[in-house]
């Protein structure tokens, strides 16, 4: 039996004698562990350490810690409590919880194992923490924050040319732990500010020979596209296709004849979205129609119907995120939009991008890139 002492830290500050008496009573009643809760999330780190120390001297029952993140200190408070003598940490995956959330167990566990040397997990299980974090986000139907420590997509991302060059020589220069230790991976972000070092490191995955002239051509293409509104930070799939085109490792899998999307809205009824796609695949004409929850869903459905008989691997991939951003707000409704699509299969996630004044056209570009990246990867 565990005794969760709600509001313990605030109660201890007001009346330490009574607060300790409640713990002793619970221990005498058979509590196997006393969990000290910072229910309001307002206790600072020095106070947590001091109060945990006071309690440890007063009772012999093992202690736990339960923090909330209202001051942005839930993880720090949990680690401080462990250092002061707590042997259990309560929290949630990704810090989900009321108000500002609870202690993020992904971060707590990573710090305990990698920074504090605590044997609190089964052997090799920490390498699953990124996978677990992403699974929970998907089940909750929430977008993952890119900057979440240890498990975020940007946790081990490098953009500045000097940074990337240094990491290629010695990863300790800009990484505090090995990304693989938490099941994450290093990402080299491409943009007009990145420099040639980023391109060289990123493109080694595609066996790109370090041809300076070729690198300059690719960098020029990236810069031109970013001037049009593209951003490749989260669109590694589209960037890989650019590199393949310059290397001669790219091929198109179909030719578009036309696509059309319509939205039908009747009085007192929900809108109906329909898409028609006509393409040529291996010399054969494929003409398909699909309905969807919206024009994007319908367009994706019609394109898949046309491709799946020729490329069954398309069935293994699915769209998991769709984001739209206005590139130039000053142009109002005539502004270019940037569509970023995140896709996945059983083995990996990847992002693709499209930019256009027409949101459906931008979506089409991102969809095609996503499918071509998948099919080229299969080859």
**Is 177 among the domain residues?**
yes
Report the mean per-residue pLDDT for the chain.
Answer: 89
User: What is the per-residue pLDDT across 163-210, written as a single tens digit (0 to 9) for each?
Assistant: 666 766 777 888 899 999 999 988 766 554 455 555 555 555 444 556
69 and 128 share one domain: yes
- pLDDT of amino acid 302: 95
Q: Between 367 and 328, whose confidence is greater?
A: 367
Instruction: Indicate the pTM of the whole model.
Output: 0.62
- Report the percentage of the chain scoring pLDDT > 70: 91
Structure confidence at residue 135 as a pLDDT band (50, 70, 90)? confident
User: What is the per-residue pLDDT across 258-268, written as a single tens digit (0 to 9) for each?
Assistant: 999 999 888 88
67 and 27 share one domain: yes
- Residue whose C-alpha is closest to residue 158's, from 122, 113, 115, 191: 191
338 and 212 share one domain: no
Say how many domains are in the chain. Answer: 4
CATH (domain of 20): 3.20.20.70
Count of CB atoms situated within 10 Å of the CB of 253: 17
Structure confidence at residue 332 as a pLDDT band (50, 70, 90)? confident
- pLDDT of amino acid 161: 63
16 and 86 share one domain: yes
Residue range(s) defining the domain that contains residue 328: 228-249+318-379
Choose one of 107, 140, 173: the last residue of a domain. Answer: 140
232 and 375 share one domain: yes
232 and 361 share one domain: yes
**Is 326 among the domain residues?**
yes
**Is 25 among the domain residues?**
yes
User: What is the per-residue pLDDT across 8-17, written as a single tens digit (0 to 9) for each?
Assistant: 999 999 999 9
69 and 23 share one domain: yes
- pLDDT of amino acid 205: 47
Rounded CA gap, 287 and 305, in Å?
A: 9
- pLDDT of amino acid 210: 64
233 and 212 share one domain: no
CATH (domain of 289): 3.30.160
**Is 145 among the domain residues?**
no
235 and 378 share one domain: yes
**Is 148 among the domain residues?**
no
Mean pLDDT across the stretch 148-160?
A: 85
**Is 151 among the domain residues?**
no
CATH (domain of 239): 3.30.160.340
238 and 371 share one domain: yes
- pLDDT of amino acid 207: 42
Q: Between 228 and 276, whose confidence is greater?
A: 276
**Is 46 among the domain residues?**
yes
272 and 175 share one domain: no
**Is 31 among the domain residues?**
yes
240 and 378 share one domain: yes
Taking phi first (over 0 means left), then psi (-120 to 50 degrees means alpha), and beta for anything else, what does residue 264 get? beta
Q: In this structure, are residues 231 and 339 in contact, taking their beta carbons and an 8 Å threshold? A: no
DSSP β-bridge partners for residue 158: 188
- Report the percentage of the chain scoring pLDDT > 90: 61
């Amino acid at each position: 039996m565990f005794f969760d002492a709600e509001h313990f830290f605030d109660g201890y500050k007001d009346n330490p004698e009574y607060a300790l008496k409640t713990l002793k009573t619970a221990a005498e009643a058979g509590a196997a562990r006393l969990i000290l809760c910072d229910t309001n999330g307002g206790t600072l780190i020095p106070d947590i350490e001091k109060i945990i120390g006071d309690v440890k001297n007063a009772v012999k029952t093992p202690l736990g810690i339960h923090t909330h993140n209202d001051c942005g200190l839930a993880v720090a408070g949990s680690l401080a409590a462990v250092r002061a003598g707590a042997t259990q940490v309560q929290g949630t995956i990704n810090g989900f919880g009321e108000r500002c959330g609870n202690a993020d167990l992904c971060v707590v566990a990573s710090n305990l194992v990698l920074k504090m040397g605590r044997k609190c997990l089964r052997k090799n299980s920490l390498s699953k923490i990124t996978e677990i974090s992403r699974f929970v986000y998907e089940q909750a139907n929430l977008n993952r924050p890119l900057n979440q420590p240890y498990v975020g997509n940007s946790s081990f991302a490098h953009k500045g040319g000097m940074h990337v060059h240094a990491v290629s020589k010695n990863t300790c220069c800009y990484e505090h732990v090995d990304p693989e230790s938490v099941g994450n991976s290093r990402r080299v972000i491409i943009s007009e500010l990145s420099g040639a070092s980023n391109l060289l490191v990123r493109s080694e995955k595609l066996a790109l020979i370090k041809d300076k002239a070729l690198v300059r051509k690719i960098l020029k293409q990236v810069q031109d596209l970013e001037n049009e509104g593209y951003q490749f930070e989260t669109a590694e799939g589209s960037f890989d296709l650019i590199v393949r085109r310059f290397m001669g490792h790219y091929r198109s899998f179909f030719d578009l004849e036309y696509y059309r999307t319509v939205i039908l809205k009747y009085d007192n009824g929900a809108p109906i979205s329909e898409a028609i796609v006509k393409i040529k695949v291996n010399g054969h004409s494929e003409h398909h129609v699909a309905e969807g929850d919206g024009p994007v869903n319908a367009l994706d459905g019609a394109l898949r119907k046309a491709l799946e008989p020729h490329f069954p691997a398309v069935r293994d991939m699915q769209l998991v995120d769709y984001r739209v951003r206005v590139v130039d707000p000053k142009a109002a409704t005539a502004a270019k939009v940037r569509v970023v699509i995140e896709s996945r299969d059983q083995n990996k996630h990847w992002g693709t991008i499209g930019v256009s004044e027409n949101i459906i056209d931008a979506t089409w570009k991102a969809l095609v890139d996503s499918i071509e990246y998948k099919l080229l990867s299969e080859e």
